[in-house]
Amino acid sequence: MDLQSLTFLVVGATFVLYIGIAIWSRASSTNDFYVAGGGVHPVANGMATAADWMSAASWISMAGLISFMGYDGGVYLMGWTGGYVLLALLIAPYLRKFGKFTVPDFIGDRYYSQAARTIAVICAIFVCFTYVAGQMRGVGVVFSRFLEVELTLGVFIGMAIVFFYAVLGGMKGITYTQVAQYCVLIFAYLVPAIFISILITGNPIPQLGFGGEVAGEPGVYLLDKLDGLSQELGFAAYTDGSKGTIDVFFITAALMVGTAGLPHVIVRFFTVPKVRDARKSAGWALVFIALLYTTAPAVAVFARVNMIDTINGPDSQGVAYEKAPGWIKTWEQTGLISWQDNNNDGRMFYSGDERNEMSIDRDIMVLANPEIAELPNWVIALVAAGGLAAALSTAAGLLLVISTSISHDLLKRNLMPDITDKQELLFARLSAAVAVVIAGIAGIYPPGFVAQVVAFAFGLAASSFFPAIIMGIFSKTMNKQGAMAGMVCGITFTAGYILMFKGVFFEPLIENKPENWLFGISPEGIGTLGMLINFTVAFVVSRFTANVPDQIQQMVEDIRYPRGAGGAQNH
């Protein structure tokens, strides 16, 4: 069977599976729609959480970042992994016991303020739309390459699938669909990694293979070989870092605290029956996430070595374009790879200096990896299904958060408190439907600043949500004035700094160079400083304003005190 037919078959089968699960598990109440009835098994919830966590950024982009950045790319691996651990240990169990299944709900009740709730709703919607636009764009790229349909049509197909199981099934449908999607995406990630590890190193375990010897070259370690190739071609040594220590620390911390405040993952811990189950599902999710995250550095190394070898040829003199491997010409059609014959010799050459003739988008590394390694067609088709599973699973979780923020936090808890459960469910479904359409449009016509706003989204979450949640859980004396002042100051500083260097809506005011950064901190890491400003301002303001009401202090004490930790207040 040819590649396109096989890809249609594999991807079509997964779509039928997702739709079937959504029909079987459709929501019939707001409790089903928001938290899947609170009856999901910890292992299943762990798999769903892992699928929600590992978006197209983790599945498609992370190994590509590491492949191109080498040692410096490790900050994304550390930051995103650490963010989940931070979320699982310091936030999720306590919010689960509090019984509020959205971040704005928690902030509004804990800080006894509708204004605080509204600020949190705006932040949640902004962060989620930023991410979901990227997911839909990823869906379009996968469709355009592997199914050879127009990118716009690919996004429409993705919209239709997500619309069906997010709007019909709510959190209940999304949860069980994400269990299936996790199985697809992890299998699709590990299979080619194992194949390529055997081919390059003879070791079937990728995590060990990329640190081992090259097959057929005794005494030559793969990373040493890559270091030599990189330096020979004008790149920095792959295992050497170029970022300053303070910047590495601040970027890692910003990714950690930013991702720990992402609302679409926090809500997953409300779908299990008890607080004890929330902790168990957090542990299972970490195991499931680790399978991919520990494999990503190996995939990055394998892909880079194979890419250099196939472009530059065994003699490192370049391969004639007319004899170029099929994957190069196929990916050229997507615009993600291009060749310019600078010296008019008809040969392609890839390097880090003036000899370079190739423009390669880092996002193709995972998707093109099986093709570069000349693996069987069924593996390539599986990778297409895996990339779609990763993008669709996270898109669904994000859309649900947007829906919940509007229907529950903005309408039910703020603007329209008298609506019935049935009306709230209707508004939730309408909100999800509108969000799907907006996300699809953003995927088809992405604004020029989408890639830049990703850094803004992490900084926003780090400098707003995280301090407010942590202080809300662990400080009985933090009042609404302090929390709101901290959130506003943290967001304002972080947004202003990123706007100066990255522009977003206009040309950058300052050239984005290390010598211009404050304390040597890049815009990607400034969210950490914004978080510290948030904490400081909140602490100072709370000391000069009214005390926290006694009932709120008792509520905070109840969250932290282990009495009754086996169960949780129903919402």
Residue 510 has pLDDT above 50, yes or no: yes
489 lies in some domain: yes
Give the span between the Cα atoms of 453 and 457, in whole angstroms: 6
Contact present, 257 and 527 (Cβ < 8 Å): yes
User: Measuring CA to CA, which residue among 351, 350, 347, 355 is closest to residue 322?
Assistant: 347
Give the span between the Cα atoms of 430 and 247, in whole angstroms: 43
326 lies in some domain: no
197 pLDDT band, cuts 50/70/90, is: very high
3-class SS string, 40-80: CCHHHHHHHHHHHHCCHHHHHHHHHHHHHHHHHHHHHHHHH
Q: 296-328, pLDDT tens digit by residue?
A: 999 999 999 988 888 888 778 888 888 888 888
Q: What is the pLDDT of residue 33?
A: 58
216 lies in some domain: no
The average pLDDT across 395-404 equals 76
In 63-148, where do the E strands start and end?
Answer: none
57 contacts: CB under 8 Å, gap ≥ 6: 131, 134, 454
Residue 448 has pLDDT above 50, yes or no: no
Q: What is the pLDDT of residue 92?
A: 74
538 lies in some domain: yes
Tokens of 47: 């798999």
b/e per residue, 226-256, with b = 16+ CB within 10 A?
A: bbebbeebebbbbeebebeeebbebbbbbbb
Give the span between the Cα atoms of 277 and 292, in whole angstroms: 23
Neighbours of 150 (CB within 10 A): 12
Neighbours of 474 (CB within 10 A): 13
327 lies in some domain: no
86-95, 178-187, 257-266: which has the highest mean pLDDT?
Answer: 178-187
pTM over 0.95: no
Give the span between the Cα atoms of 319 and 307, in whole angstroms: 12
Q: Which domain holds residue 494?
A: 448-565
Q: Which of 15-29, 64-78, 233-247, 249-263 has the lowest mean pLDDT?
A: 15-29
Say which residue, 473 or 60, is predicted with more confidence. 473
- The total number of structural domains in the chain stands at 1
Residue 568 has pLDDT above 70, yes or no: no
Contact present, 59 and 291 (Cβ < 8 Å): no
Q: What is the pLDDT of residue 503?
A: 65
565 pLDDT band, cuts 50/70/90, is: very low
Give the span between the Cα atoms of 185 and 196, in whole angstroms: 17
Residue 414 has pLDDT above 80, yes or no: no
Residue type, 265: V
Q: What is the pLDDT of residue 563?
A: 47
Give the span between the Cα atoms of 302 and 226, in whole angstroms: 10
Give ∠ CA 19-259-102 in degrees, rounded to 5. 65
Q: Which of 344-348, 421-425, 514-518 has the lowest mean pLDDT?
A: 421-425
157 lies in some domain: no
| DSSP single-letter state for residue 266 | H
Q: 207-256, pLDDT tens digit by residue?
A: 998 888 888 888 889 999 899 888 888 888 888 878 888 988 998 898 88
Q: What is the pLDDT of residue 198?
A: 94
121 lies in some domain: no
Say which residue, 4 or 185, is predicted with more confidence. 185
396 lies in some domain: no
570 pLDDT band, cuts 50/70/90, is: very low
Question: Any bridge partners for residue 338, and if so which?
Answer: 359
Q: How many residues does the chain have?
A: 571
The average pLDDT across 451-459 equals 63
Contact present, 254 and 261 (Cβ < 8 Å): no
Residues of the chain with pLDDT > 70, as a percent, come to: 89
Give the span between the Cα atoms of 88 and 91, in whole angstroms: 6
334 pLDDT band, cuts 50/70/90, is: confident
Residue 85 has pLDDT above 70, yes or no: yes
Q: What is the mean pLDDT of the chain?
A: 81
Contacts of the segment 372-377: beta carbons below 8 A, 24+ positions apart: 372/303, 372/306, 372/307, 372/310, 372/325, 372/327, 373/192, 373/195, 373/196, 373/199, 373/302, 373/306, 375/192, 375/195, 375/196, 377/1, 377/2, 377/3, 377/6
178 pLDDT band, cuts 50/70/90, is: confident
Contact present, 213 and 221 (Cβ < 8 Å): yes
Tokens of 391: 């993008």
Neighbours of 91 (CB within 10 A): 24
171 pLDDT band, cuts 50/70/90, is: low
Residue 29 has pLDDT above 60, yes or no: no
Q: 118-164, pLDDT tens digit by residue?
A: 888 887 777 777 777 767 777 777 777 777 777 778 778 877 777 77
User: Measuring CA to CA, which residue among 312, 388, 395, 393 is closest to residue 356?
Assistant: 312
User: Measuring CA to CA, which residue among 51, 125, 127 is closest to residue 455?
Assistant: 127
